[in-house]
Each structure stands twice: as C-alpha cells, then as structure tokens.
A = this chain, B = another copy of it.
Amino acid sequence: MSEARLYRGMRDFLPNFMIPREKILEQIRNIFQRWGYVPIETPAIELLSTLLGKYGNDADKLIYRLEHSDGLGLRYDLTVPLARVISLYKQDLPKPFRRYQIQPVWRAERAQKQKGRFREFIQCDVDIVGTSSPIADAEIIAISAEILNSLGFSNFKIVLNHRKILRGLVHLAGFDIEDELSVLRSLDKWDKIGEDGVMKELDTKGYSAASSKKLFELVSAESGNWEMLANFAKLGDERISEGVSNIQKILEHLSSLGVGQDAVKFSPRMARGLDYYTGAIFEAILPELPNMGSLTGGGRYDNLIGMFSKGEEIPACGTTIGIDRILAAMDELNLIPEAHTNTKVMVAMFSDELATKSLTFAQRLRKIGIEAEVYPEPKKLAKQFAYADKWKIPYVVIIGEDEAKQGLCVLKELSSGQQRIVKTDDAMRILLEVFGK
C-alpha cells in the first residue's frame, strides 16, 4: 500500500477540466494552422548548458535540475528551445519560420500562495522567426485577437507599447541608459501596485525622484491615447519617433487583417517583464476582470534567437497564449459549458444473455459518430442509471427481454425523465437528430 500524494504545485487534471481544455487547444491549433504556422516539439530534458544564463540569475535558480552527471534540467520556457532548434536545423526550416509549440514547462517557484502560480503549466507559443517586418507583429496580434474572439471573449483589449518608446522616455526623464531595464521592471508593476508603489520602488532602487516624477508625467495620460502616441513623435527623441512610426505601421496592417483600432489600446506604461524585447510589445487584457492579468503577452525580440547561431542576428516576434489564465477567465465569465464526459448515450446491460444486443446497438451509434458507451455488467438498472446520472450522460437506452424480442428498446432522456419504447431503428434516428453533426 502506497500513500497517494501529489508534490506541491503539481496538478492532476480530471475530465471536467480536460474536456474543455482539449477543445480549446484544438481550436487554437486550427487557428495557428490557418495562419500558416507549423508545430514543433522539443524534449522536456535539456542540457543545463542550454538552459542556464538565458533567463537571468533569478530564473536560473528556478530551473529543476536532474541528478545526472551530464548536467540536465527541465524545460523552463519554449523560446530558448526554439532558438536551439533554429540553430540546429537551419536547412530544414526556411525563413520566415512560423511555428507554434504547446508543451508544459517547469519552474521551481517557492511560494504557492498566488492564485494560478504552479510549478508545472502548459505554454502555448506562436512565433515568426526571420523577419523584422511589422506585418509579422500585426499577424501575431491578429492571431491573439482571433483566438480570444473564437473562445467567446467579446470584450478584450490588446494593449500595445514599444520598447523603443520606453527607452526614449526613460532617457528623456533623465535616467541613465544602463538603468533602463530596472526602471521598466518597476514601471511594469503599475497596474499591480499603483503609481505610489512604483514611485516607492524606484526610490528604494536609488533613482532620483525628479526622474521618476518626469517619467510618470510622460506616461500617465490615460485617455485619447492614439493622440498621445502621435504627440510622442513630437518629443524630438529619435528612438521614440521610430517606435511611434513602427506602431503606426502595425496598426495599419492590423486594420488590413480585420482588427480595428477599438480592440487595440496604446499604453506607455505597459512594459512586459522580460528583458529580451526590442520592439513592439503587446498583451491582451479583459477590462471586466482587472485582477486576472494578461491572457496573452508577447512582442518583438530581435536579439534572442541568434544566441545559438554564431554572430547571426535573427529577428523574431511572438506571443504566449496563456492557456491557464484563459481557462480561468472563461470559467469566471461562464464561457465553459459544464463537461463531465463526451458520451451522449449509455446503453444499459439487461442480462449477460442480452449483452450482444447492447454491444451492437452501441457500435451502430459509434458508426454514425455518436459517442456511446455500454455499462459493462448486468447490474441493477438503478445502479446503471445512477452511473449515467453521475457522468451526466444525456440518454440511456435499455434493451430488455421483451423489447429484444420485438426489435424495440427503451429510450430515456435523463434531464427530463422522459421515457419511451421505440423501435431500435427509430431510436437511432431520434439520437442522430439530437446529436448528429
């Protein structure tokens, strides 16, 4: 006898969670494919030399290591493996390379208190490698929008900003250029800890209050934000102007791709935590669920992919589709239909002698595409019904002795309790009408 226990931060996914997740992932995969993206997968176990030094010192500590003389660790994200793949299989992957990848990653996070923080979670990444065209940025944003639309989110906003604009603003505010990333990491917390919180953090880091105040002035206007973007171009900073014109091109392409400006919002305060972004950055949020965080998030990173490829600069742009967050948000907005099983019909078993009748009837249902299962033992019918009820199977069919002799069956709809005796062929026809695809 062993004790059944889970390691903390790990989750078992039972059918009521897995059934909607599988449907959502299939929907997402179809969208990726419709845009010309192809799937890859990489191994869970990578050499530590591949993983270390790519994510920063803090993240390096979160990499799970194996007891192994070769120095092995578990996959931490899908971007470093992508960079390794690009370098290893250059010839087989003509550029621009559009790829998606849906696999779990592992992070040895300490605290398990924050909602939605787990040590194993699925990442779902979509990236286009080998082009710096703003069409790529627009495409990635449009794909994010199409996914959220298709999942039933009617109210999301794509928040857009640009690392070049941020760089220019930080500079204009008087910060030293080498403090840029540190300042941005603090700024990025605005929505979580508020203006005062960011101010305090910048102060603790030892930056001048004047610079912080100036930066806040520059980024704090909230409304009329497309105007604000255009006004940034007048600040006379070359980086900012480059960023503004890049965003404007992306917006133009987005409109060609059917994503209107009402779905997109410019926010000079959105900075994205990761260091490696170099151009446009974007995330999708739900205004009605402000505490949910972003459902998708990504941007352009032109210096990362080349790290395994000698001296080559390989521009890239991509986003993560946050499956866990999306499922949580759908749950909160009641967008997930309750699912216990996909089975539409349980065929009860009356007796061992009549097993064949039940098996062949179920098999006929499957042949016409209706999910059906047979209760495998001739237990009391009440017990069989209780089972169908627990799994919320909509219909039960019983072929008893009397029915069998006359080619009949009992067809019962569990939700209404409605029960009728019909010819087996008619039962097939009725079920096909209800469940036919």
Contact = CB atoms under 8 A, between A and B. Distances in A.
Interface residues of A, number: 106
B49 A355 contact: no
Interface in A230-275: 252-253, 256-258
A87 B95 CA distance: 50
A44 interface: yes
Contacts of A108: 68
A230 B436 CA distance: 44
A387 interface: yes
A14 B92 contact: yes
A27 interface: no
Contact of A307 (B2, B54, B70, B136): B2
A68 B119 CA distance: 14
A366 to B, nearest CB: 5
A355 B135 CA distance: 9
A94 interface: yes
A423 to B, nearest CB: 20
A65 B64 contact: no
B120 A387 contact: no
Contacts of A390: 94
B43 A12 contact: yes
Contact of A33 (B92, B139, B340, B371): B371
A342 to B, nearest CB: 4
B366 A35 contact: yes
Q: Tell me the number of copies of this protein.
A: 2
A369 interface: yes
A67 interface: yes
A370 B369 CA distance: 25
A210 interface: no
Contacts of A340: 38
Contact of A10 (B45, B133, B310): B45
Interface in A90-121: 92-96, 98-99, 104, 106, 108, 119-120
Interface string A1-16: 1111111001111111
B44 A44 contact: yes
A40 B11 contact: no
A359 interface: yes
Contacts of A138: 359
Nearest to A70: B7
A180 interface: no
Interface string A169-207: 000000000000000000000000000000000000000
Most chain B CB neighbours (cut-off 10 Å) among A16, A95, A366: A366
A377 B308 contact: no
A302 interface: no
Interface string A343-378: 100100100000110011001001001111111110
A411 B277 CA distance: 38
Interface string A290-308: 0000000000000000011
Contacts of A22: 29, 39
Given A35-B366, A88-B4, A94-B387, A135 B18 contact: no
Contact of A377 (B12, B44, B98, B133): B133
22 contacts: A1-B308, A1-B311, A2-B49, A4-B84, A5-B47, A6-B43, A6-B84, A6-B88, A12-B42, A14-B85, A14-B89, A18-B39, A35-B373, A44-B120, A66-B66, A131-B377, A135-B359, A135-B377, A139-B374, A253-B356, A256-B363, A257-B360
Contacts of A83: 4
A426 interface: no
Contacts of A366: 34-35
A64 B66 contact: yes
A33 B369 CA distance: 10
A101 to B, nearest CB: 9
Given A4-B88, A5-B47, 18 more contacts: A2-B53, A2-B307, A6-B84, A7-B46, A7-B70, A12-B41, A13-B39, A19-B38, A22-B39, A26-B26, A34-B369, A34-B371, A34-B372, A45-B119, A64-B67, A65-B67, A68-B108, A136-B376
